[in-house]
Structure 1
Amino acid sequence: MADSDALGDMSLRELQARLPGLLVFQSVAQHLNFARAADDLRVTPTAVSKAIKQLEAQMGIRLFNRNTRSTSLTEAGQRLYSNLRPALKQVSYSLESAASDTEHPSGLLRINTSFVAYATLIEPHLADFLASHPDIRFELSLDSTLVDIVESGFDAGIRLGHALQRDMIAAPLGPPQAMVAVASPDYTAANGRPSHPRDLLAHRCIRQRFSSHTRFFEWTFHVDGKPVVIDVDGPMVVDEMRVATTAAVNGIGIAYVFRRFVDSHIATGALEVVLERYSQPRVSFHVYYPSTRQMPGKLRAFIDYIRAANRQSP
């Protein structure tokens, strides 16, 4: 077979013969590493290499360029991967959906979220969730950017409600989050405390930028019943809220963060909330997943568990 597009003309018998090799190919193409694919499939690297060689021989094309240092897809391999991945994903979802009502959900659950959402909503409850569902394997991707969860192969994402992708089913996850400005006692002792949001224009502020965008994260406050955005400036720009928090603790300047994310620092006195009366009205994180797919049992179990755990959290 001279071209990967000819897969659509296969007989059922031919497809049955090649399906095991196609599953191995999909894993190698995803990882671009034979050892990682072997670990993912729970077989030996030798078995993976043998399956790829057999598939290439059956199809009459070379799928990978590989040497001792790297593995990459050939043009034909890339075309096959692009066509195969959505088809296999749909098969996977169909099988998982059929078993979604079983008492023992299983499989690999891939979640994409920000560190803030993970630290406040998932991490405190993850050990108990995995202990309650021993057949679920959990894969987490922490990313401050908005990725296409379908294109990237994630089962679900967690983001603020206003940042959700289109054509997604979404549900609120955890209590509303308040944004606050915080500074260390050393900073306020040396520079004073702002009494109005506009006073921030004269302070050293730690700005945050989404790494895939040029715009800065807006500092929004509630003044006289209306939202007011302050265009702050300062000595430092970061793309992670945990870095902004650490910088504020170290006295570099004022940070604008989720209150729940810095509660422990406030409790110990490492940080103080400033301008609390002007804090922005609360926003909520949402868990979201593709609306065109039925929810697999592993995802249903995760959403139900994490939502219930966060409703019970103080």
Structure 2
Amino acid sequence: MKRDELGDLSAFLAVIEAGSFTKAAAQMGTSQSALSHTVARLEARLGLRLLNRTTRRVGPTEAGEQLAATLRPCFDEIEARLASLSALRDKPAGLVRISSSALAAEMILWPMIEALAPDYPEVRIEVNVESRFTDIVAERFDAGVRLGESLDRDMIAVRIGPDMSMALVASPDYLGRHGSPSAPQDLVHHACINLRLPTMGNLYAWEFAQNGRPLNVRVEGPLTFNLPGLCLNAARAGLGLAFVPEPYVTEDLAQGRLVRLLAEWCPVFPGFHLYYPSRRQTSPAMALVVQRLRWRG
């Protein structure tokens, strides 16, 4: 294989993973036309059509899918070997890409980055905030952050935060006008601010428990959002009850802007974990991030 052919294969794989010439070109720092020419050259050399091109998306042909399946582990191994060379440096270096929810990124990842960055300027960290579950292998992330109760079994999981619970909250003004629920069943008499889950698209059923027995409640109310922060804005404005992860409301509770309700009905569940594939070799930069994030509480 000629040296330039390796670059053509890398370009083809970038297009497959991005699903777009435009996105792949931006990631590679080249032009869309140059990238298209590179892939066309590869197709001509192989005598096979590798991509199906439409106005909206680019996808692999059967031959293209087979080639991509062959290339992915090879390029992963090359990247892992190159990353391991940084162990020979005085300090770790390289890129670590992490997929995370907004809450984990703000509460856990940012404090780690703020403390690590000055001492390790050659470690680059990219945090991609998403509310959906991300396939970190397919989308080539080094790691993801997820609650401990929803981790895949074939991943290495490292606890990076304390256990958590949900918090039912309302403003003092709302409670003054409508009173406080004494049990989850009383929520039918209250304006509840619904949260639409971005992962499934359905409304979140509020999860309670007592004495180990779960109780899920489908609530109703005039407002529905797909972001917990907007649910809290509505609760602060006295428009109803919100049910969100406890870290979102710590300051509101301390300042008296919100009041917590039915705390005895809100069970504790495993907090945030950093997870990454067990079969992938860990780079020194990734090992440093894991070491800094590991929960020691």
Q: TM-score range by the shorter chain?
A: 0.7 to 0.9
Deviation per CA, 1:225-274: give whole Å up to 9, x if none: 43442414122444432332233223332112222122233334332212
Q: How does 1:106-121 map to 2 (within 5 A)?
A: 106-121=93-108
Q: Which runs of 5+ in 2 are unaligned?
A: none
For 2:94 and 2:14, the matched residues in 1 are separated by: 15
Correspondence 1:191-202 to 2 at 5 A: 191-202=178-189
Matches within 5 A, 1:162-181: 162-181=149-168
1:229 to 215, 219, 223: 215
Task: Assess if the C-alpha contact under 8 Å between 1:201 and 1:231 holds in 2.
Answer: no
Q: 1:42 to 1:106 in 2, by over 3 A?
A: farther
1:44: Cα distance to partner?
5.8
2:253 equivalent in structure 1: 266
Superposed, which structure 2 residues align to 1:101-140 within 5 Å? Answer: 102-140=89-127
Aligned in 2, Cα 1:87/1:116: closer, same or farther, shift over 3 Å? same
Give the 3 Å change call, closer, same or farther, for CA 45–196 of structure 1 in structure 2.
closer
Aligned partner of 2:175: which letter? T
SS at match of 2:249: helix
Q: CA deviation at 1:99?
A: 3.9
Residue in 2 that maps onto 1:276? 263
Show the counterpart of 1:246.
Answer: 233
Between 241-250 and 150-159, the greater mean CA deviation after superposition: 241-250
Work out the CA distance in 1 between the residues paired with 2:115 and 2:30.
29
Question: How much has 1:212 moved relative to structure 2?
Answer: 3.4
Aligned in 2, Cα 1:73/1:86: closer, same or farther, shift over 3 Å? same
Q: How many residues align?
A: 295
Distance (Å, rounded) in 2 between the aligned partners of 1:158 and 1:165: 12
1:77-102 residue CA offsets vs partner (Å, 9 max, x unmatched): 44433432233123322432454575
Matches for 1:1-314 after TM superposition, within 5 Å: 14=1, 16-34=3-21, 36-43=23-30, 48-49=35-36, 51-64=38-51, 72-75=58-61, 76-97=63-84, 99-100=86-87, 102-213=89-200, 216-223=203-210, 225-235=211-221, 236-307=223-294
Give the AA of the match of 2:236: V
Structure 1 residue 33: deviation in Å? 4.6
Distance 1:101 1:251 in 2: 58
Task: Determine the C-alpha separation between the residues in 2 that align with 1:212 and 1:258.
Answer: 17
- Letter aligned with residue 219 of structure 2: D
Give the 3-state SS of the residue equivalent to 1:132 in structure 2: coil
SS at match of 2:92: coil
Alpha-carbon distance between aligned partners in 2 of 1:290 and 1:249, rounded to the nearest angstrom? 41
Distance 1:127 1:48 in 2: 36
Q: Deviations over 1:204-229 (max 9, x none)?
A: 22233433336654534453x43442
| CA deviations over 1:122-168 (Å, ceiling 9, x no partner) | 13443333333322333333233323222222211111111001211
**Alignment match, 1:6:** none
Q: CA deviation at 1:173?
A: 0.7
Partners of 2:2 and 2:231 lie apart in 1 by: 53
Distance 1:196 1:33, change over 3 A: closer
Q: Return the TM-score normalized by structure 1.
A: 0.79
CA separation of 1:38/1:145 partners in 2, compared to 1, >3 Å: closer, same or farther?
closer
SS of match in other structure, 2:282: coil
TM-fit CA distance, 1:23: 1.5
Measure the CA separation in 2 of the matches of 1:103 and 1:259: 41
Deviations 1:276-303 (A, max 9, x none): 3443225311111111222222221222
How does the TM-score come out when normalised to structure 2? 0.83
Alpha-carbon distance between aligned partners in 2 of 1:101 and 1:272, rounded to the nearest angstrom: 54
